[in-house]
Amino acid sequence: MYAYKMEKLGRPKDGFSRIYYYVCSTVSKYGNQACKRYICGQQRVEQSVVDEIRSLAKSPEAQMSFENTLKDISDKGVSIKGKTIKRELEKIPQIRDRYSKALGLNLMSYDEYGKQMNELTEKEKLLSAQNGELQQEIEENKKLKEKVSKAISVFKNFDRIWGNAAFEVKKEYQM
């Protein structure tokens, strides 16, 4: 009671610490009739979150899921597409040379030559754009692989990391 009065006056008692609560989001709309336990202590909620993380970290299913996700992020399909696009881009100058020789030998008219060169230029632009997109996708896959592998290592070492956490941080989350 004394601590409450002092807090109200703006002078908390020595050693007095505030207790924080989480309130259910439905209370603002429907009042406290919507939930039976609409107020829950901060420490209780945060401890349950830490316990859930700990159980996930120890769960072999979760670790297998992470490892499967890491395996699924493969660059094989992307790299194969990239190689085919690069091969096609390398062929374009040869095709241009053939069209030029055909024009020089009068095997092709100027209109046909212009049309073929325009089509070739459009194809080159399209392939270059696709190549750029594939390079971006490869970079994103690399970043995602790094994040997932980091998450896997953190999950595997969660107990050790939590054990090395500062005493004050642990004290806040322990009930």
Q: In terms of Cα–Cα distance, which of 168, 175, 147 is closest to 50? A: 175
pLDDT at 115 over 60: yes
pLDDT at site 168: 53
Q: How confident is the model at residue 175 (pLDDT cuts 50, 70, 90)?
A: very low
Q: Could you give the CA distance from residue 128 to residue 134 in angstroms, rounded to a whole number? A: 10
Residue 31's region, left for phi above 0, alpha for psi from -120 to 50, else beta, is left
Q: What are phi and psi of 129, to 5 degrees?
A: -65, -45
Place of tokens 């601590």: 3
Report pLDDT digits (tens) over 64-107: 877 777 777 766 677 788 888 888 988 989 988 988 888 888 88
Q: How confident is the model at residue 55 (pLDDT cuts 50, 70, 90)?
A: confident
Alpha-helical regions (H) of 27-157:
27-30, 42-58, 60-72, 76-104, 110-156
Q: How confident is the model at residue 118 (pLDDT cuts 50, 70, 90)?
A: very high
Q: Could you give the CA distance from residue 175 to residue 173 in angstroms, rounded to a whole number? A: 6
pLDDT at 157 over 70: yes
